[in-house]
Amino acid sequence: MLQLRTAGYKALDNLRSQGEFPPQWSSPDELEMITDHFIERFLAERLDVSGKLGPGFLIPEMIDRAVRTRETENMDNISATGAEKLDWIRALDRMNQMTQSYTHQISLLLPIIGKLYCGKKPVRILELASGSGGLAFALARQAGECGLDITITATDIVAETVSEGNRLATVRELPVTFRKLNAFDFEGLEKGAVDMVVISQSMHHFRPGQLALMIAQAETHGASAFVGIDGYRSLLLLGGVPMVASLQGIDAFTMDGLISARKFYSELELDIIAQIATRRTGHCVVCSWPLTILHAKLNEPGG
C-alpha cells in the first residue's frame, strides 16, 4: 500500500536522523541480532509515524500488523519428515509450472546473469534453499538456449531433496549439482568459487537477521550479486497464494501458502536488510507482480 510505503520512508528517515540507521556490526552473530532488532524498531517507528499522519495511514498499518505472523510453516517444522518435505517441494514445483512462475523468475535473473557473463568462463551460481531444483533446472536450460554459459550449485539442508535433485540432474544432463549447505555460514564453500547467489520463494522462511547473514556470506565468498525473489507483500496475495496452492490437494501445502503470504517482506524491509548486511546503499528492490526481487550488488565482477 502507498500509505505504508510513505510512512516507512518517513520512519526510516527519522531513525537515520537519530543516528540509529544504519546500525553497525562487527561479527556474524552481531549482524544477525542487530538486523532482527532493527526491523522491529523500524516497524515500531512506522506505526508511530502512521498514527501521526492520520487515519488514512494508521488503518493500513493496523491491517498490515494484523496480517503479520511468526507462525512456523509445515515446511519448517522440525517434526516433518524429509519425505513429507519432498512431497511439498514437488507440489511447489508443479504450482510454479502451472502458473509459469519459473518463466517469470528466469526473465528477472537472465539480465543480471548476462551482465556477469564475460564469454570466457561460466557464471557460477549458488542457489540457496533450492529444494529439488525446479528453478535451477529451468534456469540452466533457458540460459543454455540464450547462449549463456552457467553452472549452478543448488543447495538445501534436507537430504531427501538433495538426493532427488542429483538424480534428476543425472537424467536431464544439465550443469546443475546439488549439495547440503548451511545458508548462514557457507561452510565448506571455497571463497571466490561463486559469482552470484540466488534464493527464490524462500526469503520469508527466514528472519531478517538470517537473510542479512546470507547476503554478508555471499559478499565474503566473492559473489558479485545476491538476488532474492519472493512473493510481493499485498492483501491480494493473501487470498491468491493459498487458493492456487489448494489446487495441489495437499492441506499442509495449502496452509503453508496462507502463512507464506502473511510473512512476505515489503520492498523497504528487504532494502534495509541489504543495507545493514553490506554497509552500503544502491541496492535494487522492485515489484514484478506478483513477485518482489532484491538485487544486492556486492563485489565487482572478476574482483
pLDDT, residue 108, reads 98
pLDDT, residue 49, reads 98
Domains and CATH numbers, the chain: 2-67 (no CATH), 81-297 (3.40.50.150)
pLDDT, residue 120, reads 83
Buried b (16+ CB within 10 A) or exposed e, 33-55: ebbbebbebbbebbbebbeeeee
Are β-strands 196-200 and 176-180 bridged in parallel, bridged antiparallel, or unpaired?
A: unpaired
pLDDT, residue 302, reads 67
- Give me the mean pLDDT over the 35-58 stretch: 98
- In this structure, are residues 225 and 112 in contact, taking their beta carbons and an 8 Å threshold? yes
pLDDT digits 0-9 by tens, 102-121: 999 999 999 999 999 988 89
pLDDT, residue 54, reads 98
pLDDT, residue 183, reads 95
Distance of alpha carbon 222 from alpha carbon 1, whole angstroms: 36
Task: Dig out the grid coordinates for 96 from the structure.
Answer: 510454479
Edge-first strand order for the sheet with 225-231 is 176-180, 150-156, 123-128, 196-200, 225-231, 291-297, 284-288
pLDDT at 292 over 80: yes
pLDDT digits 0-9 by tens, 130-150: 998 999 999 999 999 999 999
pLDDT at 14 over 80: yes
Q: Is 240 exposed, middle or buried (0-12, 13-18, 19+ CB in 10 A)?
A: middle
Amino acid at 9: Y
Distance of alpha carbon 184 from alpha carbon 280, whole angstroms: 20
Is pTM beyond 0.85 here? Answer: yes
- In this structure, are residues 264 and 232 in contact, taking their beta carbons and an 8 Å threshold? yes
3-state secondary structure at position 17 = helix
pLDDT digits 0-9 by tens, 170-217: 999 999 999 999 999 999 999 999 999 999 999 999 999 999 999 999
pLDDT, residue 1, reads 74
Average pLDDT value for the chain: 96
- Residue 112 vs residues 107, 176, 257, 301: alpha-carbon distances, Å: 10, 19, 28, 11
Distance of alpha carbon 233 from alpha carbon 216, whole angstroms: 24
pLDDT digits 0-9 by tens, 268-288: 999 999 999 999 999 999 999
pLDDT at 303 over 60: no
Nearest residue to 229 (alpha-carbon basis) of 141, 99, 127, 117: 127
Percentage of the chain modeled with pLDDT above 90? 96
Task: Dig out the grid coordinates for 156 from the structure.
Answer: 538445501
